[in-house]
């Protein structure tokens, strides 16, 4: 076989980039070699439309066992009765729930994007915002915590068929019991999208929504440290049946069996005692980073974090400029809107930082203190011109950390 020089060169460059970068993107993580093995395995060769023992192709006996194992491990991990491991992403998992439980034009109540919600929670340019009557709740203007009183008032006013809780940029514990009470008052389904905090829930470090929500969705990467994909869980047989039909044939054809195999491998890892210790360190590292940034005079929304996410609210700099500066020294994060942001999302007034990936590399409080001070040093610079000396010094610090804690690839 002729070697694909161009593609191999790009892969080598990406490996080098990851090795030499401090990854603070809250939605990213690093998978184990075992997860990678199954993601790149011969399971990718098999078409398996349908579900176990009800496939539309022959030769699925072993495939059925792989998917069953993934479901069993996921149910054990979260205490769920029913699980669907076929969604290709968290967004598709959410779409499947909307298809399963709603009709076009029904009202949904979800967290606004600028306050920390997700595109699929009713943002106007997405299917959830175009096909449904989407109403948004937000956070308190002073504390930046979820405004449960507003959620209650909007639910009473609009009588949604579905309420969505869960966030993509929120750093505090979510009170699922309050959401459940509100949903029951108005006869709404409650969907908990725990994509970001799934690993912390699995470790017992964040409340589990399964005792409160009708259905739970998540990605399998982020804090759960698996392959990129989605999952759906419920304790209700009728909802499980509707969800299964919504996933296939509703929005997907053949499942990605190589990814489902990798999910099963990740769930196995998450069931081990070491994963809880990892999750504890994820939170400790995030708290350390938040503390250092606050000590350096930066505004951390909600005054800190209970999970892996820190939202830094900026004044003089835009989020776009801040992320660009940090990338120039090898610290990778993303610009992020903050509640009541006066800048457009493409510019934004904040950055989102996360601890999962660097924690997977083995970094702890000492390293996160160094990282926090590097961030502050770079953002402190008033005039970002002729700063080669600063960039070189900070690059050297980043490289030293990365060399000390190489990624497993």
Let me know whether 185 and 46 are in one domain: yes
119 is in an annotated binding site: yes
Per-residue model confidence as pLDDT tens digits over 92-130: 999 999 999 999 999 999 999 999 999 999 999 999 999
* Whole-angstrom distance, CA of residue 251 vs CA of residue 89: 12
Let me know whether 293 and 339 are in one domain: yes
Tell me if the bond preceding 66 is cis, omega within 30° of 0: no
Per-residue model confidence as pLDDT tens digits over 196-247: 999 999 999 999 999 999 999 999 999 999 999 999 999 999 999 999 999 9
Let me know whether 205 and 352 are in one domain: no
Instruction: Give percent above pLDDT 90 in the chain.
Output: 98
Alpha-carbon 136 to chain mean position: 20
Question: Do 119 and 113 meet the contact criterion of CB atoms below 8 Å apart?
Answer: yes
131 secondary structure, DSSP code: S
- Is residue 386 situated within a structural domain? yes
47 an active-site residue? Answer: yes
* Whole-angstrom distance, CA of residue 353 vs CA of residue 207: 22
205 is in which domain, residue-wise?
33-270
* Whole-angstrom distance, CA of residue 106 vs CA of residue 104: 6
Nearest Cα residue to 132 out of 101, 92, 154, 155: 101
Question: Do 168 and 311 meet the contact criterion of CB atoms below 8 Å apart?
Answer: no
54 an active-site residue? Answer: no
**Residue in 107, 217, 219, 223 annotated catalytic:** 219
369 an active-site residue? Answer: no
**Residue in 222, 225, 287, 320 annotated catalytic:** 222
193 an active-site residue? Answer: yes
222 an active-site residue? Answer: yes
* Whole-angstrom distance, CA of residue 332 vs CA of residue 245: 39
- Is residue 151 situated within a structural domain? yes
- Is residue 147 situated within a structural domain? yes
pLDDT at 385 over 90: no
146 secondary structure, DSSP code: B
Examine the fold and report which residue of 239, 270, 301 is the final residue of a domain before the chain moves on: 270
Q: What angle do CA 307, 309, 312 make, to 5 degrees?
A: 135
pLDDT at 8 over 80: yes
Q: Is the dihedral of CA 224, 226, 227, 231 positive or negative?
A: negative
Per-residue model confidence as pLDDT tens digits over 63-94: 999 999 999 999 999 999 999 999 999 999 99
Examine the fold and report which residue of 270, 291, 326 is the final residue of a domain before the chain moves on: 270
Question: Do 295 and 283 meet the contact criterion of CB atoms below 8 Å apart?
Answer: no
Let me know whether 264 and 290 are in one domain: no
Q: What radius of gyration, in Å, describes the C-alpha atoms of the chain?
A: 22
Let me know whether 144 and 234 are in one domain: yes
Let me know whether 288 and 368 are in one domain: yes
pLDDT of res. 139: 97
Let me know whether 250 and 371 are in one domain: no
88 is in an annotated binding site: no
**Residue in 20, 28, 49, 365 annotated catalytic:** 49
Examine the fold and report which residue of 250, 270, 290 is the final residue of a domain before the chain moves on: 270
Please return the burial class of 373, using the count of CB atoms within 10 Å of its CB with bins 0-12, 13-18 and 19+. middle
Kindly report the CATH number assigned to the domain that includes residue 344: 3.90.1150.10
How many domains, in total, are found in the chain? 2
Let me know whether 246 and 332 are in one domain: no
Whether pTM > 0.75 for this model: the answer is yes
Let me know whether 285 and 347 are in one domain: yes
Let me know whether 64 and 162 are in one domain: yes
Kindly report the CATH number assigned to the domain that includes residue 228: 3.40.640.10
Mean pLDDT of 369-384: 96
pLDDT of res. 408: 81
113 is in an annotated binding site: yes
Which pLDDT band, with edges at 50, 70 and 90, does 386 fall under? confident
Mean pLDDT of 305-322: 97
**Residue in 114, 193, 269, 367 annotated catalytic:** 193
Mean pLDDT of 286-307: 98
Let me know whether 232 and 93 are in one domain: yes
**Residue in 37, 47, 106, 178 annotated catalytic:** 47
**Residue in 55, 161, 225, 228 annotated catalytic:** 228
The number of helices, as runs of H, and strands, as runs of E, in the chain is: 15, 15
187 is in an annotated binding site: no
Let me know whether 189 and 212 are in one domain: yes
pLDDT of res. 409: 63
212 an active-site residue? Answer: no
């Amino acid at each position: 076989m002729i070697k694909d020089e161009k593609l191999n060169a790009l892969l080598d460059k990406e490996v080098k980039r990851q090795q030499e970068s401090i990854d603070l993107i809250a939605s990213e993580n690093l998978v184990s070699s075992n997860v990678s093995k199954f993601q790149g395995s011969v399971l990718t060769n098999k078409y398996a439309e349908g579900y176990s023992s009800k496939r539309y192709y022959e030769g699925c006996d072993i495939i059925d066992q792989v998917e069953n194992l993934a479901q069993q491990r996921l149910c054990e991990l979260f205490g769920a009765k029913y699980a669907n491991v076929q969604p290709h992403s968290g967004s598709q998992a959410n779409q499947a729930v909307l298809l399963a439980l709603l009709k076009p034009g029904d009202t949904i109540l979800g967290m606004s994007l600028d306050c920390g919600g997700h595109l699929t929670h009713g943002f106007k340019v997405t299917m959830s915002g175009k096909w449904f009557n989407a109403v948004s709740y937000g956070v308190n203007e002073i504390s930046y915590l979820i405004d449960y009183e507003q959620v209650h008032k909007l639910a009473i006013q609009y009588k949604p068929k579905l309420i969505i809780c869960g966030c993509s940029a929120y750093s505090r514990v979510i009170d699922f019991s309050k959401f459940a009470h509100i949903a029951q008052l108005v006869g709404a389904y409650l969907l908990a999208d725990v994509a970001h905090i799934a690993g912390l829930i699995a470790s017992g470090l964040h409340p589990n929504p399964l005792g409160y929500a009708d259905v739970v969705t998540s990605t399998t990467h982020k804090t759960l440290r698996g392959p990129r994909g989605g999952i759906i869980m419920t304790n209700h047989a009728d909802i499980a049946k509707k969800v299964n039909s919504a996933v296939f044939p509703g929005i997907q054809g053949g499942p990605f069996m190589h990814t489902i195999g990798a999910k099963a491998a990740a769930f196995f890892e998450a069931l081990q005692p070491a994963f809880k210790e990892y999750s504890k360190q994820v939170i400790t590292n995030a708290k350390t980073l938040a503390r250092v940034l606050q000590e350096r005079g930066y505004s951390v929304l909600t005054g800190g974090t209970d999970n892996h996410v820190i939202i830094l609210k900026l004044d003089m700099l835009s989020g776009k400029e801040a992320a660009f500066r940090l990338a120039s020294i090898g610290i990778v994060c993303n610009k992020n809107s903050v509640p009541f942001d006066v800048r457009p999302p493409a510019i934004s007034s904040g950055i989102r930082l996360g601890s999962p990936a660097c924690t997977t590399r083995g970094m702890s409080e000492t390293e996160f203190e160094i990282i926090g001070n590097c961030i502050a040093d770079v953002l402190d610079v008033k005039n970002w011109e002729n700063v080669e000396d600063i960039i070189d010094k900070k690059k050297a610090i980043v490289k030293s950390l990365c060399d000390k804690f190489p990624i497993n690839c």
